[in-house]
Amino acid sequence: MADQPTAGRSKAIRRLKWAMRAFGQLTWGMGTGLLALITFVLGIAVAISSLVGVGILLIRPWLVLLRAVADLERSRLTNQGYEVISPYEQLPQRLRDCLEVVRTDQTTQRDLMWLPVHATWGLIASFFGFQAGINVLREISFPLWWHLLPADEATTLNGLIRVNDWSGAAFSVALGVVWLAVFLFLNPAIVQATAAPGLRLLTAHPDVDLTARIAQLTTTRAAALDAHAVELRRIERALHDGAQNRLVGVAMLTGAAQEALRRDSDSAEAMMEQAHAAAEQALAELRSVVRGILPPILEDRGLAGALNALASSCAVECSVDVDVPVRCPASVESTAYFAAAEALTNISKHSGAYRATLTVRRSQGSLLVVVDDDGRGGAKMDAGSGLAGISRRVAAHDGRTEIQSPVGGPTRIEVELPCGL
Ligand SMILES: Nc1ncnc2c1ncn2[C@@H]1O[C@H](COP(=O)(O)OP(=O)(O)O)[C@@H](O)[C@H]1O
Ligand SMILES: [Mg+2]
């Protein structure tokens, strides 16, 4: 028997926690609903202005916005315990391809169906649930503060009923209790009801072939493992052929010098000098191997500093413009660094350019590295090993490498690396 009040209390606490979570979800839902409404209105404006031509240029940015808003709602649903992954492929750069995405891509069409529903139903229902939470506090605490307000200004039921006396205040408390019931019992159901359209439309359509996406991820993962193995082999070769050989030389020379010391100290001294030189070389090679694994300069001076140092050692005059306010994950930074290093080396080696520019931006969860030169062009992905290696490394991050290099120039290498929000 003694357990009963305890069990009742823990049930009430559980219900309260549940209601608080629902309140958080509805506040979040109100945010995504509001964003959906703004996106919807902008979408209508873009659609109308596309009919007369100009708006057509805004279709891609609008699609980016639509995806960002849908992804925010997906995170809300994931936070509720449903697994809703973002099913997008990268948006194409060209306008015509973007129009094709709107016309044929099922995921985009489902986003377009979800948008007006969430902008209306989602927003209104979430707002109601949010108001219920606010009203509980407001109406129940009403007797504490209503008389402090100027006469005739105290109202209850969202301004609908004016309160002039204590019976009105008591009525407000009664209303507060009703709102409390809504807060405790109805809000969790409202959360589910606002989530429903997203669960139907923002998840991947059964016909959308996620196998293609999975196959792509499997390939890039295999490429990542491959790139890793190649990298290990390169490091092993560099150590084996370089530093290790030099150190073997040092060992032999010092051994021989020891022998010679007993007979002829002059030749011993010459050998010690050789050994010293070989040791210095081994050290230099070890340093260069270390630099090739993760350039220490990235650690010390960040991406901007490291890229500036790269550019200043480039044979062609190169201006650098890096605007990355927060640091990206180390693997992303080092891939961006190696991509820029390869592009700049190529410019020095192959381009015959007078000027180069290196631009780095971070936007919409991606790090974008663009290297331009005004040289003779003709860069090809599979003509050598450098660009192909970079492209594999970038693909391992699920990123994109694009080369525009018509014969006669100019050349632009673009690398985009997802780096989280
Ligand atoms: N910026 C550039 N300007 C002109 N040609 C380039 C440029 N970058 C690369 N190339 C051409 O593309 C080929 C492939 O480059 P890459 O894969 O880096 O191989 P490599 O090992 O020869 O540098 C190069 O051999 C060169 O002919
Ligand atoms: Mg190269």
Give per-residue pLDDT as tens, 209-234. Answer: 666 667 767 777 777 777 777 778 87
**377 in contact with ligand 1, CB cutoff 6 A:** yes
**Mutate which of 342, 387, 407 to test ligand 1's pocket (most atoms within 8 Å of Cβ)?**
387
Among residues 413, 305, 323, which one has the least CA distance to residue 361?
A: 323
Mean pLDDT of the region 51-80: 89
Cβ atoms of 224 and 56 within 8 Å: the answer is no
318-365 confidence digits (pLDDT tens): 999 998 888 888 888 889 999 999 999 999 999 999 999 999 998 777
Q: What is the pTM for the complete model shown?
A: 0.49
The pLDDT confidence band at residue 420, using thresholds 50, 70 and 90, is low
Q: Is the pLDDT of residue 2 over 50?
A: no
Helix and strand numbers (H, E) in the chain are 14, 7
pLDDT value, residue 339: 94
- In the reported structure, the alpha carbon of residue 384 is separated from the centroid of ligand 2 by a whole-number distance in angstroms of 7
- Cβ(403) to ligand 1 under 6 A? no
Q: What is the pLDDT of residue 340?
A: 95
Ligand 1 centroid from CA 240, angstroms: 28
Ligand 1 center to residue 397 CA distance, Å? 23
Per-residue pLDDT reduced to its tens digit, 82-130: 777 778 878 888 888 888 888 888 889 999 999 999 999 999 999 999 9
CA of 298 to the centre of ligand 1 (A): 25
Q: What is the pLDDT of residues 158-209, one digit of tens each?
A: 777 777 777 777 888 888 899 999 998 898 899 999 999 998 898 877 666 6
Per-residue confidence band for 33, with pLDDT thresholds at 50, 70 and 90? very high
User: Average pLDDT for residues 9-23, to the nearest whole number?
Assistant: 85
188 C-beta closer than 6 A to ligand 1: no
Q: Is the CB of 409 under 6 A from ligand 1?
A: no
- Read out DSSP for 320-375? EEEE-SSPPPHHHHHHHHHHHHHHHHHIIIII--SEEEEEEEEETTEEEEEEEE-S
Tokens, residue 402:
């694009």
Q: Could you tell me if the CB of 385 is within 6 A of ligand 1? A: yes
Tell me what pLDDT residue 376 has: 92
> Which one of 346, 355, 407, 411 would you pick to mutate in the ligand 1 pocket, going by the greatest count of ligand atoms within 8 A of its CB?
346
* pLDDT score recorded for residue 140: 87
